[in-house]
């Protein structure tokens, strides 16, 4: 990769009160790369993402996105710059229709490009036909899996260059995940950079190019996902001694 | 401990200064203080008594009353009317001046069953307005705007109670005595299971209910005590002024009282005294401002809220920690530690093999949605029973029915051989049902040790009077509970964190603390709602050892979990739910081999390979 | 019969004022889960400033526009300075106290400068009472319900059809999620408080000719408006309007048939009881308590 990475995080620290959730994390995502961050829930993955996407302000360190320093920028500015986040727990606007959720996903460009937004809504419906069937239903009536689709679609409508996903698998049955991951892989193939935080390490390692393993607020390991999947240290700490069989 | 001692010393000093104040002029030869100044100090002390009561309500129970002046006024009017119209003695009328507002407080607490926060604030304001409206309009009874004048001078043991500097000012000391008793009561309540229960109910209502605290009762108690203090202040005021009318007890006074609490530092011991002193003094100065007095008042309130939202005492209290303590990494011990002394915790179990829990035809509907559908389940004593199923299968709902948080629409639940009809969570907790929560519900502003102590709440037998007077039984129980709490912290490897605020703990530690707290209840049945979520694999191994260890020592555990590995490793029996219905029930091996389970849980047929998609 | 009609008409009129104030609370609450607790004083600004500006020689409508603009600004400033910094935690009540402080300052400032007494405001609709089925009512009093209806439908359309309105609803539901789609939640909240300020001032201006504008006109109306909003289930605009009007009518009937002295005591008692019976509000959606 000779290009400058689209996202560069260096020395990132995040604190809540006196508790340091993230202590000096370096992460980068190259243009067009699909990067995973795995580790248990207390490891600081979500805090790292929240600092990158501007939901919380980092205590120290720098975030560089698309060749400019964006450290401490609030999330709504990050969206305008081309970084969209699919948050943990989906957070769809449950009292509004699926279509209105999608329109709000395009909030930053709806005034300047209404026609483009309409086209993009059609595209995301083609990607997730289930959303098309429920386009006028209120988002709160969707199932967990459908809400996750909506959250991804909503994120895509801002036309991001980097999509950041937090805990895709949370509360979702494996069969839904088997449907969602191929979509992400496809999006990535079409050029979208993706940073995926995922607790279910086996999934993340099987779909991403490169993976960071976090523990205790730090990056423990980093490497090609295919290598890490066979790394004893990862297996010990995260997948357990037994093979993590699914099904 | 040292901070405690310093606090008592400061109080002693303050008491000495107030006691000596009337004699200041005798030392210096000035004509100061006169009766006027004495009365000012007496009024300030009366305010302090009312403010201490309000501090218990706001600072401990987390309930904001904006109608406290009405309770204060109620006490004043009860005392005035009883001595004016019914010829009651001072002591008798004072007793009613405390009792009637306390009862009114209990009535006023009723809304807290349903509403809190801003809703409650509005209700208390409305109460205050109604009170003033009645006083103003019911002229024949309360004298309306001209008030009740000519209250007879009070006497106690045949002595007239006076407030005149040159002849007799024994009433001054009576009020001082009341103030000191109020300070003591505040201390005794705060540092007891009652105070802990009030704070617990304020910080996480659900967790408090699950730990055997009757939240309604504890809030009613807080309201009632606080109103009793207000009534005491009111009674003392009526007997000092010998005249009352509604103008003293308006909304403005309620704000003033609340401001004193906030200014001093709500929830702190010294806050009410400091807040009252500062604000009362400031008010004397503001009186010279004429029309702008009220403006200055609002400004002062705003400035305090901006400059020190924790109040004077609260802000000063943080200073030392901020100056000297640096966050030091502390070692977490391994867990579980099966040391000695845990027998009491697990010693309450049912006889092995008996059905601890029997659910028959349990159905739970929310509106049109059926979350749990005619579920039959039997959980035997001393086993680990897992409840699994895809997301939204109704596992947590069923758990909430078992622990009393939801009321089953149909069907029956039998626990420990007793048929339960709509028992509330706190009653079930007292029977021996403990639980953890999916998203951990700790009392975040209480220390780790205090969190565990709340779990021991139902085991205390000392009465409120014993607690207030600090009689031997109180000390004995408190010591025993503390020792057991420390053992439980040792058990989960968190002794080093005992004095840390629970909210500052990392996630994994919060889970451990929640389990320790649940065990403090000495449960027979432990319900764990996704205890492994957010733990590392290493920690999960430890959790498995803990659950197994508890079950081997006779405790019954119901486990809701996603982690298949963990379920397979730890469970004796597994019930599988899908769309609210039981689709399988049996041993781990049986369930694993059940095709229905495989389809519901792992998808139809073979899992499509993601490698192929890649 | 005539008396009943009379109470009904004046009740609807005064109830419309409560409803407008309650709508303002609704707008603030839905955006911030906090309100200007002494919003009644913004309502007061609408009346008092219009009188002041008219006395300075401005035409009525210009003066009203000016008053509403100033109140809008005031609402926004209160949000920025006194609500936002105190609304960080979920159950924070700091904003309640800070806005009470502002309210005390606003009211005492008005009393000190404008004077403690009410002053009349002349409008063409207060010349001669209209006769409707034997009941007498000023056109000004009928104007208020009309304004309320326009306002209610306008708000509804705004929330449902415009991107800004949808953004407001998104902020109301989940600020973090709103930020993640690019909505500046803080700006939206500021806007909501400004909007509420304007609504309150409009109500104050409309009622001023009927009751005279005074520095103390807002306190009790503000409180009643808030109770109305809460009893209606604060997240429901239509419910807020209905309950507001009902409360106005109820008040007039209490005055007429029982006692005007006990009006507030009885009215507030009924409101407290209603809140106890329907803690989610009459029109609020029942939330399943999450465990």
Domains of chain C plus CATH, in order, are: 2-277 (1.10.3470.10)
Chosen from B388, B506, B578 to mutate, greatest number of chain A CBs within 10 A: B506
- Token pair of A133, please? 């069937």
A238 touches B: beta carbon within 8 Å: yes
Task: Say yes or no: A49 contacts chain C, CB-CB below 8 A.
Answer: no
Q: Is C208 left (phi over 0), alpha (psi -120 to 50) or beta?
A: alpha
Q: Closest residue of C to B122, CA-based?
A: C227
Q: How many CB atoms are closer than 10 A to CB C271?
A: 21
Of all residues in chain B, the one with the smallest CA distance to C223 is B122
**Mutation site, A21, A40, A147, A234, interface B, largest B CB count within 10 A:** A40
What confidence score (pLDDT) does residue B242 get? 93
Per-residue pLDDT at B413: 92
Alpha-carbon distance B539 to B390, whole Å?
Answer: 24
Instruction: Please tell me the predicted confidence (pLDDT) of residue B612.
Output: 39
**Stretches in chain A below the pLDDT threshold 70:** 1-2, 17-19, 40-42, 171, 235-247
Q: For chain A, say whether B390 makes contact (Cβ under 8 Å).
A: yes
Separation in Å, CA B300 to CA B259, B305, C136, C202: 9, 9, 47, 30
- Relative to beta strand B159-160, strand B369-380 is unpaired
pLDDT of residue A189: 95
Which residue of chain B comes nearest to C91, CA vs CA? Answer: B117
**If you search the block for the tokens 């093999």, which residue do you land on?**
B353
Which among C105, C265, C271 has CB closest to B133? C265
Looking at residue B323, its pLDDT comes to: 67
Give residues with Cβ within 8 angstroms of B348, minimum separation 6.
B432, B522, B523, B524
**Which CA distances in Å does A166 have to A36, A61, A155, A200, B440?**
10, 21, 12, 12, 20
Full 3-state SS string of B170-232: HHHHHHHHHHHHHHHHHHHHHCCHHHHHHHHHHHCHHHHHHCCCCHHHHHHHHHHHHHHHHHH
Average confidence (pLDDT) over B29-35:
87
- Contact A42/B507, CB-based, under 8 Å? yes
> Which among B130, B302, B400 has the least Cβ separation from residue C101?
B302
User: How much is the average pLDDT of B336-356?
Assistant: 77
Identify the H or E element spanning B380.
strand B369-380
The answer to whether the CB atoms of A181 and B539 lie below 8 A apart is no
Both tokens assigned to B498: 């005992």
| Distance in angstroms (rounded) separating the CA atoms of residues A170 and C103 | 46
A-C contacts at Cβ under 8 angstroms: 68
Q: Which of A145, A131, A126, A143 is nearest to A97 (CA)?
A: A131
pLDDT band at B326 (very low <50, low <70, confident <90, very high): low
Out of B317-321, B368-372, B380-384, B507-511, the most confident range is B380-384
**B365 DSSP β-pair partners:** B370
Listed range (A40-49, B133-142, B319-328, C88-97) with the worst mean pLDDT? B319-328
Within 10 A of B91 (CB to CB), how many other CB atoms are there? Answer: 11
Select from B250, B310, B65, B267 the least CA-distant residue to C104. Answer: B250
Nearest to A40 among B534, B611, B613 (CB): B534
Contact B607 A246 (CB under 8 A): yes
Give the number of C-alpha atoms closer than 13 A to the C-alpha of residue C46, restricted to the C-beta side: 29
- Give me the domains of chain B, ranges plus CATH numbers: 16-250 (no CATH), 343-603 (3.40.50.300)
- Return residues 31-90 of B near C (CB < 8 Å): 62, 64
Which of B115, B117, B129 lies at the smallest CB-CB distance from C91?
A: B117
The shortest C-alpha distance from C18 to chain A (Å) reads: 27
Whole-angstrom Cα distance, residue C172 to residue C183?
A: 12
> What pLDDT, in 10s, does the model give residues B146-169?
899 989 999 999 889 988 888 889
The verdict on a CB contact (< 8 Å) between A18 and B611 is: no
- pLDDT for residue B34 is more than 80: yes
Q: Answer whether B24 touches C (CB < 8 Å).
A: no
Cα dihedral B262/B267/B272/B274 (nearest 10) = -80
The answer to whether residues B395 and B487 touch, using CB atoms and an 8 Å cutoff, is no
pLDDT in tens, B554-563: 899 999 987 7
- What 8-state DSSP symbol labels residue A4? P
d(CA B7, CA B5): 5
pLDDT at residue B390 greater than cutoff 90: no
Distance CA B325, CA B319 (A): 10
Backbone angles phi, psi at B315, to 5 degrees: -70, -45
- pLDDT single digits (tens) A110-142: 999 999 999 999 999 999 999 999 999 999 888
* Predicted local confidence at residue C49, as pLDDT: 97
Q: Are B512 and B490 in contact (CB under 8 A)?
A: no
Selected residue of B533, B536, B542, B611 to mutate for chain A interface (largest A Cβ count, 10 A): B536
Query: Is the CB of B298 less than 8 angstroms away from the CB of C104?
Result: yes
Minimum mean pLDDT range among B177-186, B586-595, C60-69, C103-112: B586-595
Do residues C34 and C95 make contact, with C-beta atoms less than 8 angstroms apart?
yes
Say whether A238 and B537 touch across the interface (CB within 8 A). Answer: yes
* Mean pLDDT for all residues in chain B: 88
Q: In B, residues 572-611, which contact A (CB 8 Å cutoff)?
A: 598, 601-604, 606-608, 610-611
Angle between the N-to-C axes of helices A174-189 and B595-602, in degrees from 0 to 180, rounded to the nearest 10: 40
**Distance of alpha carbon B157 from alpha carbon B154, whole angstroms:** 10
When mean pLDDT is compared over B76-80, B284-288, B348-352, the highest value belongs to B76-80
Res A2: pLDDT: 52
The rounded distance, in Å, linking the Cα atoms of A76 and C189 is 14
Return the minimum-mean-pLDDT range out of A16-20, B294-298, C188-192: A16-20
Hey, what are A51's tokens?
Answer: 């600092």
Kindly state the tokens that stand for A60. Answer: 């120290």
Confidence of residue B327 (pLDDT cuts 50, 70, 90): low
Cα torsion through A148, A150, A156, A157, rounded to 10: -160
CA angle B393, B425, B55 (to 5 degrees): 125
pLDDT digits (tens, 9 = 90+) for B197-240: 999 999 999 999 999 999 999 999 999 999 999 999 999 999 99
Assess C256–A contact: CB distance below 8 Å, yes or no.
no
CA nearest to C159 within chain A: A96
Cα–Cα nearest to B492, from B551, B446, B542, B444: B542
Record: contact C291-B305, CB cut-off 8 A: no
What is the Rg, in whole angstroms, of the alpha carbon atoms belonging to chain C?
A: 19
With a cut of 80, say whether residue B15 has pLDDT above it.
Answer: yes
Query: Residue B116: which pLDDT band, with cuts at 50, 70 and 90?
Result: low
The C-alpha atoms of residue C201 and residue C179 are separated, in whole angstroms, by 30
- Pick the closest to residue B151 from B92, B86, B71, B102 (CA basis): B86
Minimal CA–CA distance to A194: which of A176, A206, A183, A208?
A208
Q: Which chains touch C (3 or more CB pairs under 8 A)?
A: A, B
Q: Which residues of C79-102 are buried (b: 16+ CB within 10 A; e: fewer)?
A: beebbbebbeeeeebbbbbbbbbb
Give the model's pLDDT for residue C202: 97
Q: What is the ipTM of this complex?
A: 0.90
Residues of chain A found within 8 Å of residue C177, distances taken between Cβ atoms: 87, 91-93
Question: Rounded CA gap, C242 and C246, in Å?
Answer: 6
Q: What is the pLDDT of residue B12?
A: 94
Residue C181 has its nearest CB partner, among A55, A95, A158, at A158
Query: pLDDT band for position B304 (50/70/90)?
Result: confident
More confident residue, B195 or B565: B195
Question: Stretch B270-280: mean pLDDT, rounded?
Answer: 93
CA distance C169 to chain A (A): 8
B130 in contact with chain C, both atoms CB, cutoff 8 A: yes
How many helices and strands, by DSSP H and E, does chain C display?
11, 2
B226 contacts B54 by C-beta, under 8 angstroms: yes
**More confident site: B508 or B1:** B508
Any C CB within 8 A of B216 CB: no
For chain B, which chains pass the contact test of at least 3 CB pairs under 8 Å? A, C
User: For residue B81, what is the enclosing H or E element?
Assistant: helix B68-85
Contact yes or no for B412/B360 (Cβ under 8 A): yes
- The pLDDT tens digits of the residues spanning C5-35 come to 999 999 999 999 999 999 999 999 999 888 9
Q: Does residue B305 contact residue C101 with C-beta atoms inside 8 Å?
A: yes
Rounded CA-CA distance C93/C28 in Å is: 15
Cα–Cα distance, C85 to C75 (Å, whole number): 15
β-bridge mates for residue A12, sequence order: A25
From chain B, pick out residues whose CB is under 8 angstroms from the CB of A167: none
In tens, the pLDDT along C202-229 reads: 999 999 999 999 999 998 899 999 999 9
The values of phi and psi at residue B82, to 5°, are -65, -40
Q: Is A154's CB within 8 Å of C163's CB?
A: no
Residues in chain B within 8 Å Cβ distance of A240: 537, 540-541, 565
Calculate helix-pair angle for B472-491, B448-455, nearest 10 degrees. Answer: 110
CB A93 within 8 Å of CB A107:
no
Structure tokens at C74: 């005031």
Mutate to test the interface with A, among B368, B504, B603, B611 (most CBs of A within 10 A): B603
Name the 3-class secondary structure at B23: helix
Q: DSSP letters along C137-163, please? A: E-HHHHHHHHHHHHHHHHHHHHHHHSH
How many CB pairs (< 8 A) connect A and B? 83
Name the C residues in 98-117 with CB < 8 Å from any B CB.
98, 100-105, 107-109, 111-112
Write down all domains in chain A, each with its CATH number in brackets: 7-82+160-239 (3.40.50.300)
- DSSP structure string for B532-588: TTT--HHHHHHHHHHHHHHHHTT-EEEEE-S-HHHHHHH-SEEEEEETTEEEEEE-H
C97 reaches B (C-beta below 8 A): yes
Distance from CA of B389 to the nearest CA of A (A): 9
Q: In this structure, are residues B582 and B376 in contact, taking their beta carbons and an 8 Å threshold?
A: yes
Confidence of residue B387 (pLDDT cuts 50, 70, 90): very high
By Cβ distance, the residue of A174, A237, A239 closest to B603 is: A174
Whole-number pLDDT of residue B329: 55
Give the separation between CA C217 and CA C213, rounded to whole angstroms.
7
Set of chain A residues whose Cβ sits within 8 Å of the Cβ of C181 = 79, 84, 104-105, 107-108, 154-155, 158
Q: Which residues contact B328 (CB under 8 A, 6 or more apart)?
A: none
Please give the Cα distance from B408 to B361 (Å, whole number): 10
Sheet holding A19-29, edge to edge: A19-29, A7-16, A60-65, A68-69
Partners of B390 on chain A (C-beta within 8 Å) are 173
């Amino acid at each position: 990769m000779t290009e400058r990475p689209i996202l560069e995080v260096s020395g990132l620290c995040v604190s809540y009160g006196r508790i340091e959730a993230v202590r000096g994390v370096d992460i980068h995502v190259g243009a067009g790369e699909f990067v995973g961050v795995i580790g248990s829930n207390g490891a600081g993955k979500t805090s790292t993402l929240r600092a990158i996407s501007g939901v919380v302000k980092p205590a120290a360190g720098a975030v560089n996105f698309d060749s400019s320093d964006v450290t401490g920028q609030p999330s709504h500015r990050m969206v305008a710059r081309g970084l969209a986040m699919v948050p943990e727990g989906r957070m769809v606007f449950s009292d509004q229709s699926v279509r209105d959720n999608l329109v709000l996903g395009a909030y930053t460009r709806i005034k300047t490009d209404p026609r483009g937004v309409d086209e993009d809504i059609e595209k995301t419906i083609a990607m997730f036909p289930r959303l098309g069937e429920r386009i006028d239903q209120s988002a709160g009536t969707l199932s967990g899996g459908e809400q996750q689709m909506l959250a991804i679609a909503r994120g895509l409508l801002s036309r991001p260059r980097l999509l950041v996903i937090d805990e895709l698998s949370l509360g979702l049955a494996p069969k839904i995940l088997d449907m969602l991951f191929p979509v992400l892989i496809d999006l990535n193939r079409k050029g979208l950079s993706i940073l995926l935080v995922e607790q279910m390490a086996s999934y993340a390692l099987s779909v991403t190019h490169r993976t960071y393993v976090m523990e205790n607020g730090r990056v423990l390991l980093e490497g090609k996902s295919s290598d890490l999947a066979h790394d004893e240290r990862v297996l010990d700490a995260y997948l357990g001694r037994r093979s993590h069989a699914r099904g | 401990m040292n901070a405690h001692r310093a606090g008592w010393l400061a109080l002693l000093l303050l008491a000495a200064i107030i006691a000596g104040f009337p004699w200041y002029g005798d030392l210096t030869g000035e004509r100061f203080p006169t009766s006027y100044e004495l009365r000012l100090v007496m009024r300030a002390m009366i305010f302090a008594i009312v403010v201490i009561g309000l501090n218990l309500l706001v600072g401990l129970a987390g309930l904001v009353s904006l109608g406290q002046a009405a309770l204060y006024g109620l006490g004043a009017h009860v005392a005035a009317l009883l001595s004016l119209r019914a010829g009651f003695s001072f002591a008798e009328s004072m007793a009613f001046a405390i009792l009637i507002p306390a009862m009114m407080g209990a009535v006023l607490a009723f809304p807290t069953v349903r509403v809190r926060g801003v809703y409650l604030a509005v209700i208390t304001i409305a109460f205050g307005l109604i009170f003033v409206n009645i006083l103003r309009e019911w002229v024949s009874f309360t004298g309306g705007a001209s008030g009740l004048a000519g209250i007879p001078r009070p006497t106690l043991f045949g002595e007239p109670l006076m407030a005149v500097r040159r002849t007799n000012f024994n009433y001054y000391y009576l009020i001082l005595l009341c103030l000191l008793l109020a300070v003591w009561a505040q201390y005794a309540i705060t540092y007891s299971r009652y105070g802990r229960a009030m704070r617990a109910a304020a910080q996480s209502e659900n967790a408090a209910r699950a730990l055997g605290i009757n939240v309604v009762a504890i809030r009613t108690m807080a309201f009632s005590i606080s109103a009793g203090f207000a009534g005491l202040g009111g009674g003392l005021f009526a007997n000092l002024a010998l005249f009352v009318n509604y103008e003293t007890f308006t909304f403005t006074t309620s704000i003033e009282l609340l401001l004193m609490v906030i200014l001093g530092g709500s929830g702190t011991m010294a806050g009410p005294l400091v807040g009252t002193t500062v604000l009362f003094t400031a008010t004397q100065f503001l009186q010279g401002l004429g029309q702008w007095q009220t403006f200055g008042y609002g400004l002062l309130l705003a400035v305090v809220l901006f400059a020190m939202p924790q109040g004077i005492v609260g802000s000063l209290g943080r200073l030392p920690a901020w100056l000297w303590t640096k966050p030091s990494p502390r070692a977490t011990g391994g867990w579980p530690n099966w040391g000695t002394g845990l027998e009491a915790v697990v010693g309450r179990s049912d006889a092995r093999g008996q059905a601890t829990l029997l659910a028959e035809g349990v159905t739970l509907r929310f509106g049109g949605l059926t979350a749990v559908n005619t579920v039959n389940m039997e959980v035997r004593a001393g086993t680990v029973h897992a409840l699994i199923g895809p997301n939204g299968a109704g596992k947590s709902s069923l758990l909430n029915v078992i622990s009393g948080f939801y009321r089953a629409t149909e069907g029956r639940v039998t626990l420990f051989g007793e048929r339960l009809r709509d028992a509330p969570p706190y009653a079930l907790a007292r029977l021996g049902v403990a639980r953890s929560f999916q998203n951990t519900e700790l009392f975040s502003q209480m220390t780790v040790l205090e969190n565990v102590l709340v779990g021991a709440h139902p085991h205390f037998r000392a009465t409120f009077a014993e607690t207030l007077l600090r009689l031997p039984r109180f000390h004995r129980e408190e010591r025993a509970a503390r020792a057991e709490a420390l053992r439980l912290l040792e058990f989960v490897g968190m002794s080093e964190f005992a004095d840390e605020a629970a909210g500052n703990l990392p996630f994994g530690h919060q889970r451990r603390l929640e389990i320790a707290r649940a065990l403090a209840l000495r449960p027979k049945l432990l319900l764990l709602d996704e205890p492994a979520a957010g733990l590392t694999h290493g920690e999960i191994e430890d959790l498995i050892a803990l659950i197994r260890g508890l079950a081997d020592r006779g405790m019954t555990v119901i486990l809701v979990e996603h982690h298949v590995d963990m379920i397979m490793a730890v469970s004796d029996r597994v019930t599988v739910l899908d769309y609210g219905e039981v689709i399988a029930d049996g041993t781990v091996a049986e369930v694993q081999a059940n095709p229905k389970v495989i389809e519901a849980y792992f998808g139809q047929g073979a899992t499509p390979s993601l490698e192929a998609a890649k | 019969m005539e008396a009943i009609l009379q109470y009904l008409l004046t009740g609807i009129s005064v109830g419309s004022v409560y409803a407008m104030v309650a709508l303002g609370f609704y707008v603030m609450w839905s955006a911030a889960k906090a309100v200007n607790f002494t919003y009644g004083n913004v309502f007061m600004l609408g009346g008092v400033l219009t009188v002041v500006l008219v006395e300075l020689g401005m035409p009525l409508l210009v003066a009203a526009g000016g008053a509403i603009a100033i109140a809008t600004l005031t609402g926004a400033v209160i949000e920025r300075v006194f609500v936002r910094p105190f609304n960080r935690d979920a159950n924070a009540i700091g904003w309640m106290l800070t806005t009470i402080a502002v309210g005390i300052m606003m009211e005492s400032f008005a009393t000190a400068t404008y004077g403690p007494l009410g002053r009349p405001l002349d409008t063409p609709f207060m010349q001669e009472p209209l006769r409707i089925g034997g009941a007498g009512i000023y056109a000004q009093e009928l104007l208020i319900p009309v304004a309320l209806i326009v306002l209610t439908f306008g708000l509804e359309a705004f929330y449902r059809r415009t991107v800004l309105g949808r953004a407001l609803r998104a902020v109301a539901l989940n600020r973090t999620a709103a930020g993640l789609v690019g909505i500046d939640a803080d700006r939206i909240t500021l806007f909501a408080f400004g909007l509420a300020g304007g609504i309150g001032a409009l109500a104050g201006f409309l009622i001023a000719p009927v009751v005279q504008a005074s520095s103390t006109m807002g306190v009790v109306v503000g409180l009643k408006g808030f109770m109305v909003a809460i009893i209606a289930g604060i997240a429901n605009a239509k419910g807020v309007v209905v309950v507001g009007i009902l409360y106005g009518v109820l008040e007039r009937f209490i005055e007429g048939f029982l006692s005007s002295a006990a009006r507030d005591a009885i009215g507030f008692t009924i409101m407290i009881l209603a809140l106890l019976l329907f803690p989610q509000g009459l029109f609020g959606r029942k939330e399943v308590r999450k465990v």
